[in-house]
Amino acid sequence: MGYFDVPEVEYTRYSNRQLAAVPLAVLAVALLVLSGSFLVYGTPVQLGMDFAGGAELTVQTTSSEEEIQNAFDVEPDSIQAVQAPGVENQYTVQFAGIEDSEAIQALTEQAETNLEADGDASVVQQESTASPAFAEQTQQTALLGLAVAFLGMSVIAFVLFRTFVPSVAIVASAFSDIVIPLAFMSIVGIQLSLGTVAALLMLIGYSVDSDILLNNHILRREGDFFESTHRAMQTGITMTVTSMMAMLVMGVTAYLFGVELLASIGIILFVGLAADLMNTYMLNLSMLRWYKFHGVSR
């Protein structure tokens, strides 16, 4: 098995304010991005069909994805190649927010007209996959799940350490670990769906794992503060970087094979884990150092 050598960071060169400044600045930018998206579009992150409702067409054509993209008056929210044995040249085209039967029929006619240059285009299946009312209920359920997971994580942090600053450090890091990937999704146009919500739930777990590891080494194990920090980093950074590489490989592979959801999950987890490295070993650590040297007996 390979060994990942984690260099020892000279934290004494930086004040607590300097350490916390970078992650807090990134968090502030992420919040500004989400706020701007909310003001312009009505939602912090673009909603997928799971949460907005809409129509879905399955198209049989030898046209390219770019040609399919340009075949409709309404820009598709997603175009995915159908991956199934014996199925070739089929694409699933999704239009979020469209449920009217006349609008769906118009999209069907556009597909058959604009993609029939070689006489090969046909709509294999058309359907309205989710009504806005059902999608809104699904959205509320997913957001409730995220809120319950975050609240549960916060309770566990306070139960484990039973002190304010270390527990708040874990909660603050986890909050930033969620907000930064959400802002990234808003910038690059990754939609919020049941699949991407699952990725965000996984990030809560990753965040708690790395933060509790750091807190436990510093507060409950013997040794100097910086020695304990380095021991925690050897384990925590190795785990996180390994997971990042796995998610990056999954995302790139899924993208090459046209599996859009897996590609989105992979890149969200990669960005979230990178944010977790920053928040754990800069924001969380700065709060722990203040608590250890200034807050415990003051």
Burial letters 173-190, b for 16+ CB under 10 A, else e: bbbbbbbbbbbbbbeeeb
**Does 48 have pLDDT greater than 90?**
no
- N- to C-terminal Cα distance for the chain? 46
- pLDDT reported for residue 49: 74
**Does 108 have pLDDT greater than 50?**
yes
Which of the following CATH numbers is that of domain 11-47+134-295: 3.30.1330.40, 1.10.3720.10, 3.40.50.1980, 1.20.1640.10? Answer: 1.20.1640.10
> Which one of 134-148, 159-173, 275-289 scores highest in mean pLDDT?
275-289
* Listed range (52-56, 129-133, 189-193) with the worst mean pLDDT: 129-133
The ranges of the chain annotated as CATH 3.30.70.330 are: 54-130
- pLDDT reported for residue 114: 76
At 7, the amino acid letter reads P
* Listed range (20-24, 100-104, 178-182, 235-239) with the worst mean pLDDT: 100-104
Which of the pair, 151 or 99, is modelled with greater confidence? Answer: 151
* H/E segment holding residue 228: helix 225-256
Query: Average pLDDT in the 255-266 region?
Result: 85
- pLDDT reported for residue 297: 45
Which of the pair, 187 or 64, is modelled with greater confidence? Answer: 187
Which of the following CATH numbers is that of domain 54-130: 3.30.930.10, 3.20.20.140, 3.30.70.330, 3.10.450.100? Answer: 3.30.70.330
> Which one of 142-146, 167-171, 223-227, 255-259 scores highest in mean pLDDT?
167-171
- The C-alpha atoms of residue 225 and residue 207 are separated, in whole angstroms, by 21
**194-220 vs 164-188: helix axis angle to the nearest 10?**
150
Three-state SS for 293? Answer: helix
CA angle, 282 as apex, 152 and 207 as ends, to 5°?
A: 25
- pLDDT reported for residue 243: 92
The ranges of the chain annotated as CATH 1.20.1640.10 are: 11-47+134-295
- pLDDT reported for residue 121: 58
- The C-alpha atoms of residue 108 and residue 125 are separated, in whole angstroms, by 9
- pLDDT reported for residue 280: 93
Handedness of CA 225, 226, 231, 237 (dihedral sign): positive
Mean pLDDT, the chain, whole residue set? 82
- pLDDT reported for residue 298: 45
Query: Average pLDDT in the 178-191 region?
Result: 92
- pLDDT reported for residue 127: 59
